[in-house]
Amino acid sequence: MTTATTVDVVLPCLDEAEALPWVLGRIPPGWRAIVVDNGSRDGSARIAEDLGALVVREPVRGFGAACHAGLR
Q: How many domains are contained in the chain?
A: 1
What pLDDT, on a 0 to 100 scale, did the predictor assign at position 1? 62
pTM of the model: 0.89
In a domain, 62, yes or no: yes
Average pLDDT score, the chain: 94
In a domain, 66, yes or no: yes
Q: State the residue range of the domain holding 16.
A: 7-71
In a domain, 1, yes or no: no
In a domain, 2, yes or no: no
15-45 tens-digit pLDDT: 999 999 999 999 999 999 999 999 999 999 9
Nearest CA-CA partner of 63 in 6, 2, 11:
11
Counting every residue, how long is the chain? 72
Residue type at 65? A
In a domain, 57, yes or no: yes
